[in-house]
Structure 1
Amino acid sequence: MERKEFLKRGFSALGFATIVPLISCSNSSVDPETTDTTTGSTSGSCTSTASETAGPFPTKSPASYVLTDITSDRPGTKLTVKITIQNKSNSCEGLSGALVDIWHCDAAGNYSEYGGSGMQSINYTNVHFLRGRQTTDSNGVVNFASIYPGWYSGRAPHIHVHVYDSSGKSLLVTQIAFPEDISKVVYAQGVYASHGQADTTNARDNVFGDGVSTEMATVTGSVSAGYELTHAIVVTA
């Protein structure tokens, strides 16, 4: 079944905002990650990070993947991910002991833990690349080693994030957006080149189209040396 027809018949009717099985990343023209999008709200000295859908490919057992290096065997431009979790209820101080899960697709636009169907033909159901969990330090910071995410049709490049408090209570599901000028440089070289440039800008993205003011990462570095992503996520804990 074509992905567009699948979405028309099933996704909206079921109303899944987070877990929808086996939907392609790399060969699709419509993305299901279109629900549960809100803009950030401002209170006091900081702005809450926008809540977004977890999409159809969340990590199935995130507690099993406590990893700093989530690269696994995936080729691509090196990316260091540094995320700070800030607590809006405590003057935006760093939130210690928070659980932070991240996941994203590989250079070709495919996710691990899914596939083996007409919607993602490559079967990655038994591998777990580009997924991991870390606990924030005393300053609310987690670090991951990864690769620069690829893209798939209908979505701008992004990383998914799910933040929990120390007891496992969900605080926020969100996504991180990338500067388009840097993505263009990355996608012109190496393993990304055969996939070409992203077909969707942040402004035309189903998730980021209402603005990326609380979701845009700061990315520095180069293709040769690798890039560093820094981003602050504001939650209420």
Structure 2
Amino acid sequence: MERKGFLKSLIIGTISAPVLFESCKKSDGTTTSGTVTETGSGNSSGCTTAPTETEGPFPTHSPSSYVRNDITDGKSGYAMNVKIIINQNCVALANAIVDIWHCDSEGNYSEYGGGGMQATNYQSLHFLRGRQVTDSTGLATFKTIFPGWYNGRATHIHVHVYNSSGISLKVTQIAFPEGSGTALALVNGYKKGLSGYTYNSSDNVFSDDKSGVEIAAVSGNTTDGFDLTMKINV
């Protein structure tokens, strides 16, 4: 199937996935004039299978409805380009479906809220959620903002990968490098700061990632924006 036709079919079709309702200090980079040149591994080998993580508690209700590269939907924050490379058995996986979603600068998710875990009601909005299909090199790209954080979790991005037939291959999450000179330190939690922040080592998802497989490679600055690169082996 031609790529354009394949994308069109994704918009029409809906792929359902199980919802798992769970609660959703490294310094290895250098900086120059407030610019992060590179931090994190981004799972550069691409051969270590990504850990399977929870999809909840804020998964996208209808991911096939959001086939788009720009997922900002007008949300303010520091610009960030996300490059996700999908490998299968260390080989680039073309035509894989990649869904991502994350919170805004204040730690809130679209499609949820109004009580419980999130007081702000964004049930009718769909910001910071999107779907793309990988090219021949396994690459899917998204234009978004640097995520904020909320109580009990480190800054993160959710990822759900399907094969070209819509069969789920991997649900995982992307962590951010931490410590002096990292993008996380430059952003400094936006208006919230980092007081009370949960670091990767204490996070209920990332605390067992001793080798840093889930930590992305991040570069850039708050003026020009950031670039995040992550290889995910399914």
1:138 is matched with 136
1:62 alignment partner in structure 2? 63
Counterpart residue type for residue 54 of structure 1: E
Q: How many residues align?
A: 192
Counterpart residue type for residue 223 of structure 1 = T
Preserved CA contact (<8 Å) 2:177 2:183: yes
Alpha-carbon distance in structure 2 between the residues aligned to 1:49 and 1:121? 32
State whether residues 52 and 174 of structure 1, in contact with CA within 8 Å, keep that contact through their aligned partners in structure 2.
Answer: yes
Q: What is the SS of the residue equivalent to 1:63?
A: helix
Contact in 1 for aligned 2:20/2:54 (Cα 8 Å): no
Question: What is residue 12 of structure 1 aligned with on the other side?
Answer: none
Q: Could you tell me how far 1:214 is from its partner in structure 2?
A: 1.6
TM-score (norm 2): 0.78
- By how many angstroms is 1:160 displaced? 0.2
Deviation at 1:80, TM superposition (A): 0.1
The answer to whether the 8 Å contact 1:101/1:161 transfers is yes
- 2:58 & 2:166 partners in 1: Cα distance? 20
The two structures have a TM-score, normalised by structure 1, of: 0.77
Identical aligned residues as a percent: 54
Q: Are the equivalent residues in 2 in contact too, given 1:19–1:57 (CA < 8 A)?
A: no
Q: 1:52 to 1:119 in 2, by over 3 A?
A: closer
Query: Which residue in 2 is equivalent to 1:100?
Result: 98
Inter-partner Cα distance in structure 2 for 1:19 and 1:61? 15
Aligned partner letter, 1:207 = V
Deviation at 1:123, TM superposition (A): 0.9
**Quick one: distance in 1 between partners of 2:183 and 2:59?**
26
Unaligned 5+ runs, structure 2: 1-17, 25-45
Alignment partner of 1:159 is 2:160: no
Alignment of 1:46 onto 2:47: yes
Matched residue, 1:214: 213
Q: Return the match for 2:126 from 125, 128, 133.
A: 128
Equivalent AA in structure 2 for residue 205 of structure 1:
D
2:158/2:174 contact within 8 Å kept: yes
The equivalent of 1:228 in structure 2 is 227
CA distance in 2, matches of 1:118, 1:161: 24
CA distance in 1, matches of 2:120, 2:199: 26
* Alignment match, 2:31: none
Residue 50 of structure 1: CA displacement?
0.9
SS of the residue corresponding to residue 203 of structure 1 reads helix
In 1, Cα distance between the equivalents of 2:104 and 2:93? 29
| Cα separation, 1, equivalents of 2:140 and 2:218 | 16
Residue 79 of structure 2 corresponds to which residue in structure 1? 78
Aligned equivalent of 2:23? 32
Question: How far apart are the structure 2 equivalents of 1:100 and 1:150?
Answer: 21
Relative contact order, CA 8 A, sep 6+: which one is greater?
Answer: 2
| In 1: Cα distance, 2:101 partner to 2:62 partner | 12
Q: Report the Cα distance in structure 2 between the residues aligned to 1:119 and 1:152, rounded to whole angstroms.
A: 10
**Equivalent residue for 1:5?**
none
